[in-house]
Structure 1
């Protein structure tokens, strides 16, 4: 049996020079100078997550890594397995359901090695999960949860995030329909079903049969154009690699709005209804701060071994208040 590495060890931030990873590295450096080790394909410690053994070799070479923050999307759960097998804690920022399921399957192995892996880390999934859990508890166990996410189109996201958005446009929207919700600071907006991973994991994690996440953008015109094009067949076209490349380049170059975001979680049980919301700016920075706090908490020994989505970890339940206290976001209680 592998034993967990000393929690006094270093933190390897894979993708540490991107928008999210740079925030993780800076936060850890502020809390504990010299502890964060940024890694990337061409800068810092060389790590290529598409190389099946790449992360494992890096961990063995460094020797004193207690935790890894994964800020880039690997092709499979191999990177997570490399951490778990070595008893190294993992905070995974990825949001692709297939990858999250693959990492979740490592739970028993992580328990044996004493490693903690935290999934659903960021804004959505992440803070959406925590708000949903609160609303769920307030109504005494929801039978329906609606999550609404508004993102700013002026923020420049990393390549993985843009590619994920294009892939998600290609996914069938399912049976859910658009809905209108009031979002603090942005008025009442029409949001459209979108395959954020939180809606899938929350169904199992909270035992709620009906969970839907919807998306809108700060630009009403771009929201209407994007989802109108999806209804007209853009989603089907985006299933072709060449079309995805064109769309990825186009979305990466268009920045008509600001960098503000808003998230709202509504839960229903019969006639009971509860809602929580938060607002802020710079989604990538907030995602990085969520990841930084998660790894800091894991290293403190406050999290149990195994693989857990963020809403299943009581020690992280107060993270929205922590971030609000740091000025990274604001919390709201919408009228219901």
Structure 2
């Protein structure tokens, strides 16, 4: 197994390495570290065509066997959602670093509970890696620091409905619609999209930021680039029909009526002081993959101390939005950040 001293020479195992996000991770890391990236997934034929191996995170014994047989894995990237924290434990106890693109706050919380194990083993994990959570966390950090420690943070995410997302992402979105919601809709200005109505949605940021930044209140909201689809979707939530998750998941995989752009905005407030940051780009899956690739690169460089960290807790990644400018990301501080 890889030790802390030889981490820079180890390989990267990308689980889900041929999916919408994983393919971007595989390609980016392969450009930086030729011959050291191993794509993996349940479809053995697809994985092997890319020079990878079969991995099923629902089979702990099989996953452990792959890690042991490969022998020199330095970092594992989860681009598919594991069933529990067991796969993360298998990596960390072998002193293998971890990057998790997952967005389920319960699962992220369970992995965070492995902090002591990771620290003792000398391994590090980076969570909240992607667009939301991910870049949203980094914008929240900027706004938080600008007001001198926010009492309240509001995050708004606009997603394009024209992009073809992976099955896990679609299922997660539909499942989120069926969760209880408490915050009111909010009218908010989003660069390039005008004023939109965003609705409370359970992105994991609203849970993690309360711990990582010490924020009293954090709320996350969602809207789509299609105004009619946004209105219809959240009207369904009010009727309770979103509980028909299998039907909605099937429908979402077939609906591609919008574009591939996205926008996120972070608003922080304390004692009347307000700060707002926004970010826009194209291709949610592509950008999520790039964020995961940069997090993996930082781990390989040995710049993350052992333990479990969310992306906003890694100082070396604070300028990641600017580093992604060549990939079409535009980040800006909003001068008039007053809430509507």
Say yes or no: TM over 0.5.
Answer: yes
2:199 counterpart of 1:192: yes
Name the counterpart of 1:74: 82
After superposition, the C-alpha distances for 1:131-157 in whole angstroms (9 at most, x for unaligned) are 001100000111110000000000000
Is the contact between residue 119 and residue 309 of structure 1 (CA under 8 Å) also seen in structure 2?
Answer: yes
Unaligned runs of 5+ in 2: 48-52
Give TM-score, length-normalised by structure 2. 0.94
Structure 1 47/64 Cα, relative in aligned 2: closer, same or farther at 3 Å? same
CA distance in 1, matches of 2:30, 2:170: 28
CA distance in 2, matches of 1:92, 1:258: 27
Name the counterpart of 2:218: 211
After superposition, the C-alpha distances for 1:174-200 in whole angstroms (9 at most, x for unaligned) are x21100111000001110000000110
2:167 counterpart of 1:166: no
CA distance in 1, matches of 2:63, 2:261: 34
CA displacement at 1:2 relative to structure 2: 9.2
CA distance in 2, matches of 1:46, 1:291: 21
CA displacement at 1:29 relative to structure 2: 1.0
Give TM-score, length-normalised by structure 1. 0.95
CA distance in 1, matches of 2:5, 2:184: 47
Tell me which stretches of 4 or more aligned residues in structure 1 moved more than 6 Å.
none
Give matches, 1:134-145, under 5 Å. Answer: 134-145=142-153
Name the counterpart of 1:102: 110
Structure 1 251/289 Cα, relative in aligned 2: closer, same or farther at 3 Å? same
2:229 counterpart of 1:228: no
Is the contact between residue 5 and residue 86 of structure 1 (CA under 8 Å) also seen in structure 2?
Answer: no
CA distance in 2, matches of 1:285, 1:152: 13
Structural RMSD (CA) = 1.3
Structure 1 SS opposite 2:293: helix
Structure 2 SS opposite 1:111: helix
After superposition, the C-alpha distances for 1:7-32 in whole angstroms (9 at most, x for unaligned) are 11100000000010000000011112
Structure 2 SS opposite 1:99: helix
Give matches, 1:33-48, under 5 Å. Answer: 33-42=34-43, 43-44=46-47, 45-48=53-56
